[in-house]
Structure 1
Amino acid sequence: MSVPSANLAHFKIPAVTNEPMKAYGPNSVERAGLQAALKQLRSHAPLDIPCIVNGKEVRTGIIEKQLMPHEHKTVLCNYHNADHTLVAKAIDGALAAKLDWENTPFNDRAAIFLKAADLASTKYRFTIMAATMLGQGKNAWQAEIDSAAEMIDFWRFGVKFAEELYGVQPPQNSAATWNRTEYRPLEGFVFAVSPFNFTAIGGNLAGAPVLMGNVCVWKPAPAATYASYVVYEIMREAGLPAGVIQFIPGPAPEVVAQVLKHPEFAALHFTGSTHVFRKLWKDIGNNIEHYKSYPRIVGETGGKNFHMVHKTGNVTSVVHNTIRSAFEYQGQKCSACSRCYFPDNLWPEIKAGLVKAHARIKVGGVEDFHNFAGPVINQFSFDKIKGYIEWAKGDAESEIIAGGTYDDSVGYYIQPTIIVTTNPKSRTMTEEIFGPVVTIYVYKAEEYEKTLHLVSDSSAYALTGALFSQDRYATVLGANILRNAAGNFYINDKCTGAVVGQQPFGGGRASGTNDKAGSAAILSRFVSPRSIKETFVDLEDFVYPSNLV
């Protein structure tokens, strides 16, 4: 039974700004702290990670291993998969927790997420970063911007955006009436399916609906199980009640099929592959008659993201932004640059710059802070990316000008690879690779407008893109033609690195529903507004004034 509580008539949340980034430079306090956390985590591996259902740890004995991708003979954790019975118990438990949670005043829900953000910023910062580095193959900088800064920003700005959403109320009231809007949580439960590549995404996929009063069943990616578990533990320590989020690692086909057949399924919050998202959408459609309401479907999927350069582009900026965007975190970002269009007047200088910069990239284990790039996530990914590289080696229209080697003897290492093609619609220019491979097409500088249309029309995806130009008219033309080619569009900057509260993230076409994570827009997808009109003066007669004689 829901317990009555006092409600504040009005309150303002603390001022919210982006989490300050730590640099982890040589001899810094933060580097020492992170290195100690890495050492401690390694000494405790392999950890034993349970499911969490109704606030209790459940060990099913159905064990899977999460390996360290930079050292794949080492097991980071053994985690327990949920079985059919436990999934059913998790759904029932979430629904049982629903009434108390949705009746919890917003200020109390907000306090939990603000506390979680502060815990992640302080007590758990190095712990969650170490989990992300050893488990998902990120270097210190990439772990900092993901599992620390971005996750903290998601939770803090989520509270700010929720406050703003609740504040959107009818602007007019007729005489003797009061109109207001209630932002109800959805009927039923939300199913969150999170990816391996961003720890912060897991915290947001489960956290955003829960902040709005929903309950959530969360299935993390196998390759991010331990970091996701730490995220859950942070939220639990911050005061999240038992059952509000059910943490159930498990085999995707079985868990998803069971969840999507449940009549109380209310929403899908998903980040992952386009193929899987389309399959889930079809499955939801096939079950539509069984649901209490029409489920909300929110998804961010793949990308074939571009850098387009005008003949006036700054070569130094183009080179370094392309290296970063294509190869940071081994190209395993949904937003990573994987196709480039460079004008022939700048190509010799850009090529020389790319090859020179590429030679400075250090690839290796995540515990060596000198390394810019690390491993790809697993054997499947390694084999897939290797296949594209081998294809390019045998393609008459493609030339590898840097990289092109790989080695999985110790970790899943693929050297950052730069391909130049004469075919703008080759496989590596059109298919999502999700690895450290970028393909370049050199166009005639006088065919700028024609090439803009090529960029826009040659991909099924529309997630991120960048335009480099020092000519304002050329920039305006490019921005207009590329309007639907990317949900996040960057001018003279790389196509990665969206910051919560600054660049809400998401794309259209095959890249997803573009509901913009890191904004109030995505929170609106997890509420069902109710319009309330209250009249203060009773109606004395039904007759209209126009009926009078």
Structure 2
Amino acid sequence: MNAPDPNDGTTTELRDPDHDPSASLALEPQHVRRLTGLLLATSGETKPAISPINGQPLGDIPQSTEADVAEAFKRARKAQATWARTTLEERAEIFLRLHDIVLERQDEIMDLICWESGKARKHAFDEPLHIALTARYYARTAQQHLGTTRVAGVVPGLTRVEVNRIPKGVVGIISPWNYPFTMALCDGLPAVMAGNAVVAKPDAQTMLSALIGLEIMEQAGFPKDLFQMVAGPGRVIGTEIINRADYICFTGSTATGKLIAKQCAERLIGCSLELGGKNPILVLRDADLDRAAEGAVRAAFSNAGQLCVSMERMYVADQVYDKFVQKFVDRVNAMSLGASTDWGVDMGSLISQDQLDTVVAHVEDARSKGVRILTGGKARPDLSPYFYEPTVLEGTTPDVTCFGEETFGPVISIYRFSDEDDAVERANDGDYGLNASIYSQDGQRAREIARRIKCGTVNINEAFGATFASIDSPMGGMRESGMGRRQGAEGILRYTEPQAVGTQRLLRFAPMFGMSDQAYAKFMTANVKLMTKLGRK
């Protein structure tokens, strides 16, 4: 179906071909113009937004220039100077309004996410939920994380030391397409709560999902220019952000993350990087197999596997291997597939031809090297242009591309193990260390195993939600899966500079009362020994 020009006043309709026209939803051109009007973009150039549901254009996204980025930072610095003087209580009130508005407008948000990313609606719901949880958490814990704290002084009663949390200034955020609403906001919210301003560059493929977040922030009462978005290629606009920001937060590939880390190092600014993963599931011999099979489906095929913390490797104990694999494959075969904005779909589309090409190449490489395809293994253009079936591989060997390389699609390989030490060693293979999952009915034993796995998050009897949805817990990667953490205390303190303020009374740190330097040194040595005996820190 050919779409009309999104600027001619008509409506662009997006339909699942298996649904009747009455079930269609529409994205109105004035809606697109309202959202894109929030961009700082004066180049006069545009880039079409294309829906992976059926290849139709959603609208035209104005493109920013380097001068636009410079202007965004100029405005942001002015807004930040005022915002930093607001109380934590005032900031928290705005965050809680954001929480409420996101939940009220969740259907509109999910529509945009589905249209732009092609994901199933039930996976799109994770995004407004995550932002609501993030806003509430930092509203409720702002004083705990950011309030001035007292620490021990060197001389009890005479030395008072306080630690302040000073905002970095303007934070640059470069976010990906796979979770376009939540990733556009979830890292910026704690930056703003900490007193910073933000200049963000969401991925070009999903700008509208990011921009509705910016619109909601304005509706909630965030000051003008405190959180801004620009659009354009990373090599130009992203580089310009890195050249001007006081801190960078990036989510994306390991290769790009390494380049950004080098650029930040040259400027001596900090960065946090959430990068790639080749995440493992361990199904132990005492696992609840039905629960493990259900969890493994979500772990591997949420958002068609286009999730940094999704699973691409599964290690199953010999004692339960055959029974588990049958349960898992049966569940995969029972999945409802489709490209739609409706509820009831278990897995949606990949986002682009590039992503489809990668998945096809990985599976065909595996097929050519004798890997068994237990289910799936082919593209489904009858469902949508970039759709690929959920695919389960068995017998993947180290010479196969997807053995160690991230596919970022609906493909998982299953392996047997007979020894848990061997399973842990294999789970730690490779350079990545983002997320892992362990299924066992012995929680204590599973937690002990978790400590041996070199991943930033480990979920027990769950795929990724137990850690990712718990905003008080840090989320990030070890090794080449990144550096720094989002969420929890680490997720907000990264955007601050700790400032120690010491107030000294009576005693000075120099000889007094006619003491010589030597006598002063002996006096201080005696006092340090006494404090140690008294158990002082």
Any conservation in 2 of the 1:41–1:131 contact (CA below 8 Å)? no
- Report the 3-state secondary structure (helix = DSSP H, G, I; strand = E; otherwise coil) of the residue aligned with 1:100: helix
Q: Match of 2:236?
A: 254
User: In terms of mean alpha carbon deviation, does 217-226 or 350-359 score higher?
Assistant: 350-359
Q: Relative to 1, partners in 2 of residues 1:477 and 1:269: Cα closer, same or farther, differing over 3 Å?
A: closer
Alignment gaps of 5+ in structure 2: 1-22, 521-537
Give the one of 448, 452, 460 matched to 2:420.
448
Q: Relative to 1, partners in 2 of residues 1:496 and 1:391: Cα closer, same or farther, differing over 3 Å?
A: farther
Confirm or deny that 1:303 pairs with 2:289.
Answer: no
Q: CA deviation at 1:168?
A: 5.9
Q: Relative to 1, partners in 2 of residues 1:51 and 1:206: Cα closer, same or farther, differing over 3 Å?
A: farther
Q: Match of 1:465?
A: 436
- Letter of the 1:492 partner, please give it: N
**Residues of 2 paired with 1:368 and 1:85: CA distance?**
41
Q: Match of 2:379?
A: 406
- Letter of the 1:453 partner, please give it: E
Q: Match of 2:113?
A: 132
**Residues of 2 paired with 1:228 and 1:143: CA distance?**
13
Any conservation in 2 of the 1:193–1:205 contact (CA below 8 Å)? no
Any conservation in 2 of the 1:205–1:270 contact (CA below 8 Å)? no
**Alignment of structure 1 residues 53-72 onto 2, 5 Å:** 58-72=41-55
Q: CA deviation at 1:317?
A: 1.9
**Alignment of structure 1 residues 122-271 onto 2, 5 Å:** 122=104, 124-146=105-127, 148-167=128-147, 169-172=149-152, 174-175=156-157, 178-186=160-168, 188-198=169-179, 199-262=181-244, 265-271=245-251
**Residues of 2 paired with 1:157 and 1:197: CA distance?**
23
**Residues of 2 paired with 1:358 and 1:237: CA distance?**
41
Give the one of 324, 328, 331 matched to 2:298.
324
Q: CA deviation at 1:399?
A: 0.9
Give the one of 496, 512, 530 matched to 1:527.
496
Q: Match of 1:50?
A: 36
**Residues of 1 paired with 2:206 and 2:191: CA distance?**
20
* Residue-by-residue CA offset, 1:131-181 (whole Å, 9 max, x unaligned): 1121122222212221x2101111111223322112461244643665322
- Report the 3-state secondary structure (helix = DSSP H, G, I; strand = E; otherwise coil) of the residue aligned with 1:345: helix
Give the one of 510, 529, 536 matched to 2:480.
510
* Residue-by-residue CA offset, 1:379-426 (whole Å, 9 max, x unaligned): 111111111111111112x11110001034643100000001152674
The percent identity for this pair of structures is 22
Any conservation in 1 of the 2:176–2:203 contact (CA below 8 Å)? yes
Q: TM-score, normalised by structure 2?
A: 0.85
**Alignment of structure 1 residues 413-452 onto 2, 5 Å:** 413-421=387-395, 423=397, 426-443=400-417, 445=418, 447-452=419-424
Confirm or deny that 1:499 pairs with 2:469.
Answer: yes
Give the one of 457, 461, 467 matched to 1:488.
457
Q: TM-score, normalised by structure 1?
A: 0.83
Any conservation in 1 of the 2:36–2:208 contact (CA below 8 Å)? no
Any conservation in 2 of the 1:184–1:528 contact (CA below 8 Å)? yes
Q: Relative to 1, partners in 2 of residues 1:318 and 1:425: Cα closer, same or farther, differing over 3 Å?
A: farther
- Report the 3-state secondary structure (helix = DSSP H, G, I; strand = E; otherwise coil) of the residue aligned with 1:181: strand
Q: Match of 2:368?
A: 394
- Report the 3-state secondary structure (helix = DSSP H, G, I; strand = E; otherwise coil) of the residue aligned with 1:439: strand
Q: Relative to 1, partners in 2 of residues 1:46 and 1:216: Cα closer, same or farther, differing over 3 Å?
A: closer
Q: CA deviation at 1:260?
A: 2.6
- Letter of the 1:448 partner, please give it: E
Q: CA deviation at 1:219?
A: 0.3
Q: CA deviation at 1:335?
A: 0.8
**Residues of 1 paired with 2:317 and 2:162: CA distance?**
56
**Residues of 1 paired with 2:513 and 2:201: CA distance?**
58
Give the one of 348, 356, 366 matched to 2:330.
356
- How many corresponding residue pairs? 492
**Residues of 2 paired with 1:69 and 1:149: CA distance?**
23
Give the one of 74, 81, 93 matched to 1:99.
81
**Residues of 1 paired with 2:30 and 2:411: CA distance?**
32
Q: Relative to 1, partners in 2 of residues 1:192 and 1:422: Cα closer, same or farther, differing over 3 Å?
A: closer
Q: Relative to 1, partners in 2 of residues 1:101 and 1:474: Cα closer, same or farther, differing over 3 Å?
A: closer
Q: Relative to 1, partners in 2 of residues 1:177 and 1:451: Cα closer, same or farther, differing over 3 Å?
A: closer
- Letter of the 2:469 partner, please give it: V
Any conservation in 1 of the 2:119–2:350 contact (CA below 8 Å)? no
- Letter of the 1:98 partner, please give it: Q
Q: CA deviation at 1:471?
A: 5.0
Q: CA deviation at 1:308?
A: 1.1
Alignment gaps of 5+ in structure 1: 1-37, 289-293
Q: Match of 2:14?
A: none
Q: CA deviation at 1:82?
A: 0.4
**Residues of 1 paired with 2:293 and 2:205: CA distance?**
32
**Residues of 2 paired with 1:538 and 1:85: CA distance?**
55
**Residues of 2 paired with 1:118 and 1:377: CA distance?**
29
Q: CA deviation at 1:349?
A: 0.9
- Report the 3-state secondary structure (helix = DSSP H, G, I; strand = E; otherwise coil) of the residue aligned with 1:532: strand
User: In terms of mean alpha carbon deviation, does 431-440 or 196-205 score higher?
Assistant: 196-205
**Residues of 2 paired with 1:251 and 1:503: CA distance?**
33
Any conservation in 2 of the 1:308–1:466 contact (CA below 8 Å)? yes
